[in-house]
Amino acid sequence: MFPIFKPAGDSAIAIIFGDEIDEEVNKKVHAVAEAIEEAAPEWLIEVVPTYTSVYIYYDPLKVSYSEVLEAVKPFLSAESREEKKRIIEIPVAYGGEFGPDIEFVAEYNGLTVEEVIEIHSKPLYRVYMLGFLPGFAYLGGMDERIATPRLEKPRLKVPAGSVGIAGKQTGWYAIESPGGWRLIGRTPLKTFDPSKSPPSIVKAGDYVKFVPISDEEFWEIYKQEWGENNDRAC
């Protein structure tokens, strides 16, 4: 049945590899996306890998839909090269001013704050995809024991680096934005920096490990990352 090919308008094609969130399906997605990107045919505009699909954005003035279809078929056999698995450590100061909702998360799940931190920082989370907003990583593998519903009323401003939980999902806000996640901590790392290439410190297919740090360590790293003069309050 899979893969399925579908036009997504006149300038994109979707290749769908499965119909549920699954690590093996996602590995295939990234293997194929990378192979097509590396081949860089002249009509290719960009490739966007997601949980279960690869979207190929192409220039319809240079190539037709059926030609793209033929051209991508040889890449479908691409094998995942994940033996070179990248693990990105994300230091997180949990609780206090950095994670104002951690007590709620603990109470909601009948745990102590320390248990929440331990459960949250234990797994190796897979980055299934990046999307939605710049640098936003969709992580898989959170322990359901700390799953917590979103805020009823989203905050107007969540600082960049804030780490949160929304339902069974966890992740961090790469840029300052409004948001409804339960905030449990914050990373001092500049996880998205448009002056760098690539702009995001994680890419799809990476693995993430949250490492608890103290408030002092937070400010030390924060200064290195964001500069002395950056407003602490923002």
Are 202 and 137 in contact, with CB atoms under 8 Å apart? Answer: yes
Of 17, 75, 94, 136, the one binding another protein (CB under 8 A) is 136
Are 200 and 219 in contact, with CB atoms under 8 Å apart? Answer: no
Nearest to 142 by CA among 126, 162, 130: 126
Binding to another protein by residue 199, rule CB under 8 A? yes
Binding to another protein by residue 46, rule CB under 8 A? yes
Taking the C-alpha atoms of residue 228 and residue 220, their distance in angstroms, rounded to an integer, is: 10
Taking the C-alpha atoms of residue 122 and residue 71, their distance in angstroms, rounded to an integer, is: 42
Considering only 14-22, 98-106, 207-215, 221-229, which stretch makes contact with another protein by CB under 8 A? 14-22
Comparing CB distances to another protein, the nearer of 102 and 139 is: 139
Are 134 and 200 in contact, with CB atoms under 8 Å apart? Answer: yes
Of 74, 114, 132, 220, the one binding another protein (CB under 8 A) is 132
CB of 43 to another protein, least distance (A): 12
Are 162 and 76 in contact, with CB atoms under 8 Å apart? Answer: no
Of 61, 156, 233, 234, the one binding another protein (CB under 8 A) is 61
Binding to another protein by residue 48, rule CB under 8 A? yes
Nearest to 128 by CA among 31, 204, 49: 204
**Contact partners, residue 70, CB within 8 Å, separation at least 6:** none
CB of 129 to another protein, least distance (A): 7
Longest dimension (CA), the chain: 59
Binding to another protein by residue 19, rule CB under 8 A? yes
Binding to another protein by residue 191, rule CB under 8 A? no
Binding to another protein by residue 152, rule CB under 8 A? no
Instruction: Give residues in contact with another protein (CB under 8 A).
Output: 6-12, 14, 16, 19-21, 33, 45-53, 55, 57, 60-61, 64-65, 129-136, 138, 174-175, 177, 192, 194-195, 198-200, 203-204
